[in-house]
Amino acid sequence: MIWSIKDIDELLQKHIAYRESCLNLIASENYSSPTVRNYLTSDFGNRYGCYVTLKPEEREYRGNKFIHEFEIATQKLVGEVFKATYVDLRPIGGHMAGVATVLGLLSPGDLVFEIHLKDWGHGLVGPMRTVSHFNQTIRVDSIPFDEDRMVDLDNLLKMIHEQKPKMIIFGGSGMLFPEPIKEVKAIAQQEGIILAHDSSHVTGLIAGGVFPNPLDEGVDVMFGSTHKSFPGPQGGFIASRNLELFEKIGNTLASALVTSHHLNRLPALAVAMLEMKKFGRAYGEQVIKNSKALGKAMEECGFKVVGARKGYSETHLILVDVREFGGGKKVSLQLEEANILCSDDFGQLDNEIRIGTAEVTRRGMKEAEMKQIAELIKRVIIDKEDIAGVAKDVSNYARMYLGCEYSL
Ligand code: DSN
């Protein structure tokens, strides 16, 4: 029970001490800098800045003149980093940004291609169809993948020709390699198909210029979150170069999905954007080097790493097939007991674990440390050492890396 400030402090301190003793390999999390965290507590967090139309100057509440100035400036900064003409920072998270994109751009009966949850899709339209009448409103099919977890372009083009979708949403939660957006662009233009990119996982890599910018590749809209490979405050965004589509999405977003857009995110997001402008390339390059090094080290330890033939990964994560060790859920729970945090495939096939390198890279780890991490995972899963003993070693190891690199 919480009776006092002391109770709150004690519980928070327990969490902080616990997380400092863990190796965080959850690909959808990151370690934002103390400066970013500091700017989350500004007075903006007490204010209402909503605007229903796409005219930010037409605020519904009074007292917003500096909030307005700040929001416009942050939109411009984000636009510069993602090379977008139009930016909306009102989505509270990437999922909300995606829902607004789907609802804003599709009509009843339209077909969408997205990445299925079993292929580590984000789960946008699929789960929407479990709500109310959406299963009668939006049709969905899955983008095909090959055994290296690369998009199967031949099959995708065949599906496009045969089924003529209205929208294709690239991007997911287990992306190992860039997608063939350029290769799909011509047919998309010819058939009037909207190309969207759920960039949530790779936002930080795009900001660093080490992952292809989906807008440069030809998507009409990119949306995502700011707290996965991008080490910012939790939140979402929509970015585009197409005003007509951007307006449709923005007018759907507000006020149907969001009114208070949690303004305290904005100064913190601006700091994180400046960090990425300055250090994004170095950070992104190290993240990818670490993913490749971890993939290799895991393979050398005896694990089956997805996409090994293609160099394991070009992103902030690797996928490991752990069926022979009892499946993703069992393995991730065993690793959690050893203070190693990663993800299973969220109740899908239960074949794989996902291991992310963004946070440990921010903490200062490089290729040599990836070997150590693989060895610690092996001790739990393959060698079946006493978990409490490994947990102690993991804690001591993790506590050696409490800094925050690539930050202002
Ligand atoms: N899609 C979930 C993940 O990747 O962990 C969270 O957004």
> Does ligand 1 have an atom closer than 6 angstroms to the CB of 173?
yes
- For residue 391, count other CB atoms closer than 10 A to its CB: 20
Span from the CA of 284 to the centroid of ligand 1 (angstroms): 19
Q: Determine the residue of 24, 25, 26, 28 to mutate for testing ligand 1's pocket, defined as the one with the most ligand atoms within 8 A of the Cβ atom.
A: 28
Work out whether strand 340-341 and strand 23-24 pair parallel, antiparallel, or are unpaired.
parallel
Atom of ligand 1 nearest to the CA of 201: 4
Q: Is the CB of 332 under 6 A from ligand 1?
A: no
CA of 201 to the centre of ligand 1 (A): 8
What is the per-residue DSSP string for 33-59?
Answer: -HHHHHGGGSGGGG-----SSS-TTS-
C-beta contacts of 371-375 below 8 A and 24+ residues apart: 371/293, 371/297, 372/397, 373/23, 373/25, 373/294, 373/297, 373/340, 374/294, 374/297, 374/298, 374/300, 374/301, 374/303, 375/297, 375/301
Torsion-angle region of 14 (φ positive above 0: left; ψ -120 to 50: alpha; else: beta): alpha
Work out the average pLDDT over 300-305: 98
User: Is residue 301 predicted with pLDDT exceeding 90?
Assistant: yes
> Which residues are registered as beta bridge partners of 139?
111
Residue 136 scores a pLDDT above 90:
no
Q: What does the pLDDT read at residue 167?
A: 98
Tell me the mean pLDDT in the region 337-360: 96
Q: Which two tokens stand for residue 39?
A: 């700017």
Q: What is this structure's pTM?
A: 0.97
pLDDT tens sequence across 77-107: 999 999 999 999 999 999 999 999 999 999 9
C-alpha distances (whole Å) from 401 to each of 22, 208, 285, 397 are 10, 23, 19, 7
Share of the chain above pLDDT 90, in %: 93
Q: What domains appear along the chain, each with residue ranges and CATH number?
A: 35-272 (3.40.640.10), 280-398 (3.90.1150.10)
From 224, 226, 202, select the one nearest 213 (Cα to Cα). 202
CA of 131 to the centre of ligand 1 (A): 19
- Rounded CA separation 160/267 (Å): 42
Q: Cα(28) to centroid of ligand 1, in Å?
A: 5
Residue 200 CA: which ligand 1 atom is closest? Answer: 7
pLDDT tens readout for residues 7-19: 999 999 999 999 9
User: Which residue has the least CA distance to atom 1 on ligand 1?
Assistant: 122
Residue that wins the pLDDT comparison between 347 and 217: 217
> Residue 264 pLDDT more than 90?
yes
Q: What is the DSSP string of 303-348?
A: -EETTGGGTS-SSSEEEEE-GGGT-HHHHHHHHHHTTEE-EE-TTS
Question: Which atom of ligand 1 is nearest the CA belonging to 343?
Answer: 5
